Structures are given as C-alpha cells and as structure tokens.
Chains A and B, each alone.
Chain A
C-alpha cells in the first residue's frame, strides 16, 4: 500500500451523468474505487475519494440536466471534477451548510437529500472549489493529496 503514485502513469477516468441518472453515482464511485485499489493506494484515501465521487456525481444527477465527472490520478494526488449544465447554485455558502437541501421528496425517499452532500465532500477533500452560475451550471473541483512526506520521499 502506498500513499503516492510517483512511478505510476497518470490516469484519467471520465463518466457522463444524465439528468436523474441517480444510480450512476454509486457505479462511478465503485468503479474508481476498484481502479485505485488496483493501483495499490491506501484504503483511507480511496474511501475519501469514493465518497467525494459518490456525492458529487449524485448532485449532478439530482440538480443538473447533464454533466460529467472526471477523475485525474496524478503523482501528488487525485483531482475530482464535476461539470454540469443546469440550475446552478444561488448561494454556495448556504448550500455548503449541513442540513440545507433543495432536493425533492423522490430524492429523499432514496436516502439522499438530507443536505449532507457538499459538507461530506468538504470533509473528505484537502482542497475544494465550487463555481456556479444560476441557470447555467456548476463546476466542482475537489483535490485529495497524498501525504506530503511520502510525496517528497518519492520525488
């Protein structure tokens, strides 16, 4: 098990997410997890990445009309990016607040929509950036770094 992938080729994984394509989120998380396990990454880092992917992809499926998820595996860490066309977020600070949600009853019945998605993503990320335009769409960029000491050791 390693923290960094200094000697591993960079990898990019991409997934399309359609409107109300609710079950693709779990599949994305599951598939990326398996890929990262094959690369020999540590379990705790894989979990954090899988949670970010699950929640971010779910947000796209719930709130956007179309979007995609891109996962970049780089030597110093992993970048998870979602880009969508859709409603956008009016107030990002409010959306980040745990418990705040605009999700429908249908989403809540499925076990989501409790307003935990973005705060879960924040908790699991080392760096998080969200840009949104109402009526246009949202871009989310989350980064998880491998441990600094190992990164320097391997560099």
Chain B
C-alpha cells in the first residue's frame, strides 16, 4: 500500500513529505521505541512506527534507509526534527492512534514485519 493509503488508514496527519513522497509503496513495517533496536532490526524501505520524537529517530531512519516515520499517540516532534526529516527526504506522519492499533490495522491490510 502507498503512504497515502497508510495515512488514511491510520487517520494520520502529514508533517512533511509531498504528494510524490506519499505515493511511495510500503510493504514492511517496524515498530519500536529504542534507537539501538532500530539500528539492529530496521530494514531498508520499512515504515518506522515510534513514540520517540527526538532527532535520533530521524538519524536512525536515515542511516537505516527507512521509507517513512509515523509518530503515535498524537506526538509531534519539534520543528527542527521535522526540518531534518524534510532535508533527509523522509516523510513524517503523526496519528492519535497508539502503536498496537496502528500495527493491527496495517497487519489486516497485509503489511508485515521483516521476519515474515
């Protein structure tokens, strides 16, 4: 599914990323709140779901070639973090839903973790 479809499915708001970026397809998703775990397990082209909103998330997503980042629980990163997402061409989205519901809705639509 495309990021645009993910946005609609998870009632998310786009913090950065133009229409072209939102046409990117997503097949794999990874959810966690530990940077070291992101570095260890985050596979290229994954959608990263997290409740962390600091600059490390963008660095980790950039280093690991994540496709986009979704912040859960209505969390919004600072403007500097959003700018960093823009600069690194990583679309950032935020939703009021929590991690479990995001993952559940995505799983229902056929999105899987990397190990499946």
Contacts and interface: CB of A to CB of B under 8 A. Distances in A.
Asked if A pairs with B, the answer is: yes
Interface of A: 22-23, 25-27, 29-30, 33, 43, 47, 50-51, 54-55, 110-112, 114, 116-117, 120, 123
Contact of B55 (A23, A29, A55): A23
Contact of B33 (A55, A111, A116): A111
18 contacts: A26-B55, A26-B59, A27-B59, A29-B63, A30-B59, A30-B62, A33-B62, A43-B65, A50-B63, A54-B39, A110-B35, A111-B34, A112-B36, A114-B34, A114-B36, A116-B37, A116-B40, A120-B39
A111 B39 contact: no
A140 B101 CA distance: 42
A31 B32 CA distance: 24
B36 A110 contact: no
Interface of B: 33-40, 44, 52, 54-60, 62-65, 88
A26 B40 contact: no
A47 B56 contact: no
Contacts of A123: 40
A55 B56 contact: no
Given A111-B34, A111-B52, A116-B34, A51 B40 contact: yes
Contact of B56 (A26, A43, A50): A26
A120 B55 contact: no
A110 B59 CA distance: 13
